[in-house]
Amino acid sequence: MSDPQVKPKPERAGGGDTAAVQISGVSKVFNRGRPDEVTALSDVDLTVDSGQFVSLIGPSGCGKSTLLRLIADLIDPTAGTVTVAGKPAAQARRDQEYGIAFQQAGLFEWRTVRRNVELPLELRKVPKAERRVRAEEMLALVGLADFAGHYPAQLSGGMQQRVAIARALAVHPPLLLMDEPFGALDEMTRERLQGELLQICAKTGTSTVFVTHSISEAVFLSDKVVVMSARPGRITATVDIELPGRDEAARQSPAYFEYVTAVRKALRA
């Protein structure tokens, strides 16, 4: 397998590094002043260091997707500031500082796998030859080099999700935003993709904000698990995770189970 354009993983907890994401005093109120007004987020502070993998976990409706959408500049905060790579979120979006993958792979059925991955590059007017090379690199990275000419319907759900990740990575974003990307997959596929995602992030030095419902998934993937509570959505705890490794053995380690218990307790508090 080729090893394309691999950046070394940046040092963690950035000594002088610009944070990948900095959220300060952020609140989000939907339908403000109307009877159906809802405070989705209240006074949220969060820092994602460069190269860090951070998970957001909490009950349905606690504002996880809202927080991710604020980082992606898909919506504006009611109060507070969001910076990505040291820039205002809107500027970061224009500079393609991040890629996004959602729960549904969201592939175009009439495009081949290769042309799905090329799409964000097409939109950015990257020349055809370069697009082709980049798509092949990304497909190799997610282990789908042999499926470039297939159509989405010919792939399993797990493979489709890998295509979506390849597409999110195609612009070489320093930051990956993922909203329950493995939520629709069976447990086995999910665990395999978790391992693959970690390898990709390590190889490329990508920082990641990852939304999940799953405590075990959050603990296995993350450097930091951010626990949220609903109504209004707030961060109630953060749990720093330090596992000896991120292989299958790590899932059986006492430390892993201790972190799972710690996150579960924080969720119940």
Ligand X SMILES: Nc1ncnc2c1ncn2[C@@H]1O[C@H](COP(=O)(O)OP(=O)(O)O)[C@@H](O)[C@H]1O
* 71 near ligand X, rule: CB under 6 A: no
CA dist., res. 237 & res. 138, Å (int): 35
Residue placing its CB nearer to ligand X in the complex, 64 or 115: 64
16, 60, 125, 153: which one contacts ligand X (CB under 6 A)?
60
**Count of residues in contact with ligand X, rule CB under 6 A:** 13
* 212 near Mg ion, rule: CB under 5 A: no
Which stretch in 11-19, 60-68, 113-121, 143-151 sits in contact with ligand X by CB under 6 A?
60-68
CA atoms within 13 A on the CB side of 55: 24
DSSP one-letter code for 233: B
Residues 33-72 as x/- pattern, contact with Mg ion by CB under 5 A: --------------------------------x-------
* 232 near ligand X, rule: CB under 6 A: no
Contact (CB, 8 A) for 179 and 65: yes
* 31 near ligand X, rule: CB under 6 A: yes
Cβ at position 68, least distance to ligand X in Å: 8
CA dist., res. 256 & res. 225, Å (int): 13
Contact (CB, 8 A) for 75 and 89: no
Where do runs of H (alpha helix) occur along 98-186?
A: 113-123, 128-141, 157-169
Q: Is the dihedral of CA 174, 87, 219, 15 positive or negative?
A: positive
Tell the residue number behind the tokens 């799905």, with chain if given. 116
* 61 near ligand X, rule: CB under 6 A: yes
42, 66, 112, 204: which one contacts ligand X (CB under 6 A)?
66
